[in-house]
Amino acid sequence: MLEAANGLEIGRDLTRANTLALPSVAERFWRARSEQDVMHGLRLANEHDWPLTVLGGGSNLLLPPHIAGLTLCPDLDGLSFRAAAGDRVDVEVGAGVVWHTLVEACVERELWGLENLALIPGLAGAAPIQNIGAYGVELGDVLEWVELIDRRDGRRRRLGRDECGLGYRDSVFKRELANRVVITRLGLGLSWRPRPRLDYGALDQRVPPSPSARDVFEAVCAIRREKLPDPVALPNAGSFFKNPVVSRQRADMLAAMHPDMPRYPQPNGDVKLAAAWLIEQCGLKSCRDGAFGVHDRQALVLVHFGGGTLDELLAFADRVAGAVRARFDIALEREPRQAGEPASG
């Protein structure tokens, strides 16, 4: 790897910088430790008309062998807490703070709001992109604003939660603003007042009565450790597919044939199904083909045993999705984004 005079790294190996451990080299790499750094990186990209890839913790991005243009890593720190009206506490966090470190810091202060989102890999700045969610809570439940630098004019902007277009594993940052902005800071609204969210799965059976935020945090950590592979030991990107949402009629028809099928009714009447269950019904749990496989404890997680490439992973994922389509006539949508791919939607 070379370091050019202006601080750009040339030919940076990113194989260890993505949790799927896909072999990948960035043509140019720029680590931004301040807003000014981000602005400088974007100016360079604009001057040279380089395509832009923003890389945080690499836990939800599929990397090709070669990433053309500029890969920018927003590594901005900072974490502050400010008591606001009533029981509310305003939290500001830099994009480069490790998400789980943020959750721990909030739980340590006995603040409520993030405890169900423990152990999600990645950096805080990536959280709004896919509106991270787990155990009945989504980032959108506590997000107040997102600060970003816009590539078009190099300026800082602040988007309120309602401007972020948050949905299930979705936001404007995956669509209209993809590859156009760099998120630098988030504002969250947490609370001193206990507000346990225990309605998902068996969470309520894993905590004592009147649990503390730490009790919930520890239960979530324990459940995740039981099911989800540690990317350091077995590379993966968490859920590889979104849970599909179907009409109630469709869900009723499927449930008539499969009474044990998990179903999660949505506020609009549609029903979210469990992609992991659909994959498992196709007999694919624990299956392996070459370098990739379906995890043996969570069928929604594809794992990389080593030596594979993005193309092989995509071919494997197509086979998994193809089996679900053939058996249930349901299309699975991929969850992690692919670097260099045009924006969705």
Asked if 243 interacts with ligand EPU (CB under 6 A), we say yes
Residue nearest to ligand EPU (CB): 238
Asked if 131 interacts with ligand EPU (CB under 6 A), we say no
Asked if 242 interacts with ligand EPU (CB under 6 A), we say yes
Size of the site for ligand EPU (CB under 6 A): 20
CA angle 74, 339, 236 (to 5 degrees): 90
With CB under 6 A as the contact rule, the residue among 299, 320, 321, 339 that binds ligand EPU is 299
Cβ–Cβ < 8 Å for 190, 89 = yes
Asked if 105 interacts with ligand EPU (CB under 6 A), we say no
Asked if 177 interacts with ligand EPU (CB under 6 A), we say no
Asked if 171 interacts with ligand EPU (CB under 6 A), we say no
Asked if 270 interacts with ligand EPU (CB under 6 A), we say no
What the block records as the tokens of 260 is 């044990």
Which of residues 50 and 277 has its CB atom nearest to ligand EPU in the complex? Answer: 277
Task: Considering only the C-alpha atoms of the chain, give the largest distance between any 2 of them, rounded to a whole number of Å.
Answer: 66
Asked if 330 interacts with ligand EPU (CB under 6 A), we say no
Which of residues 17 and 149 has its CB atom nearest to ligand EPU in the complex? Answer: 17
What the block records as the tokens of 151 is 């590539």
Start-end of H helices in the chain: 35-48, 99-108, 213-227, 248-257, 275-281, 310-328
Which of residues 195 and 227 has its CB atom nearest to ligand EPU in the complex? Answer: 227
Nearest 5°: phi and psi at 263?
-145, 140
What is the C-alpha to C-alpha distance for residues 63 and 29, in angstroms, rounded to an integer?
14
Asked if 229 interacts with ligand EPU (CB under 6 A), we say no
Which of residues 39 and 126 has its CB atom nearest to ligand EPU in the complex? Answer: 126
Q: Could you tell me what percentage of the chain is helix, strand and coil, using 3-state DSSP and rounding each to the nearest 5?
A: 30, 30, 45
Assign 47 to helix, strand or coil.
helix
With CB under 6 A as the contact rule, the residue among 134, 148, 178, 183 that binds ligand EPU is 134
Asked if 138 interacts with ligand EPU (CB under 6 A), we say no
What the block records as the tokens of 115 is 């405890």
Can you say whether residue 135 is alpha, beta or left, with left for phi > 0 and alpha for psi between -120 and 50 degrees?
left
Q: Which residues contact 229 (CB under 8 A, 6 or more apart)?
A: 236, 295, 297, 298, 301, 303
Residue 261 DSSP class: -
Asked if 174 interacts with ligand EPU (CB under 6 A), we say no
Asked if 200 interacts with ligand EPU (CB under 6 A), we say yes
| Active site positions, annotated | 169, 239, 335
Q: Which span sits near ligand EPU by CB under 6 A: 50-58, 65-73, 235-243, 315-323? A: 235-243
Q: Which residues bind ligand EPU (CB under 6 A)?
A: 134-135, 200-201, 227-228, 238-239, 242-243, 262, 274, 276-277, 280, 285, 298-300, 335
